[in-house]
Amino acid sequence: MTEDTLTQRAVDRVQASFQRQGMMLHLGARLLRVVAGECELALPYSDKVTQQQGGFHGGAIGALADIAAGYAGLSLAPEGKEVTTVEYKINFLAAFQSGEIHAIGRVVRAGRRLIVTTAEVNHVAPDGKISACAVMQQTLAVVDKAY
């Protein structure tokens, strides 16, 4: 396949899955960008995604990173397959209110059965300032598509 075809195929698969993500849609997440092996999502600040101090909730940050990296993996999975998260590990680097968080997922190694990915999460302030928010390392399993 050409690079354009690979990218279009990745976009189609990820968009089809993203529209089924009840929690992400509910929290207001948006799909920003997807190419083969890489995916970027955004989540705007709202009272749906806060913790006890009014900052972005670690659970929301973790969910966004999990999905961005999962979609990076999905973009490389064989036809008829999808991916499920085996596990992930996330470090939180700083707390943020307002603005948006952006998670960029990248494939480190795509095996036949397992895919290893990383994600970096950045905060984008209302004035455009970008700051590191979290880093994640994840294992995905390649499974038969179930829907």
Angle at 9 between CA 5 and CA 14, to 5 degrees: 150
116 binds a second copy (CB under 8 A): yes
Write phi, then psi, for 34 (nearest 5 degrees): -145, 130
Q: Which of 9, 92, 98, 106 binds a second copy (CB under 8 A)?
A: 92
Task: From 4-12, 30-38, 44-52, 121-129, give the range in contact with a second copy by CB under 8 A.
Answer: 44-52
Does residue 109 interact with a second copy by CB under 8 A?
yes
For a second copy, give the closer residue by CB, 82 or 124.
82
Closest contact distance (angstroms) between CB of 85 and a second copy is 5
| Residue 5 CB, nearest approach to a second copy (Å) | 23
SS3 readout for the chain: CCHHHHHHHHHHHHHHHHCCCHHHHHHCCEEEEEECCEEEEEEECCCCCECCCCCECHHHHHHHHHHHHHHHHHCCCCCCEEEEEEEEEEEECCCCCCCEEEEEEEEEEECCCEEEEEEEEEEECCCCCEEEEEEEEEEEEEEECCC
Per-residue contact string for residues 59-78; x = within reach of a second copy by CB under 8 A = xx-xxx-xx-----------
- Binder among 1, 20, 127, 128 for a second copy (CB under 8 A): 20
Question: Footprint of a second copy on this chain (CB under 8 A)?
Answer: 17-18, 20-24, 26-27, 47-54, 57-60, 62-64, 66-67, 82, 84-95, 108-109, 113-114, 116, 118, 132, 135-137, 139, 141, 146-147
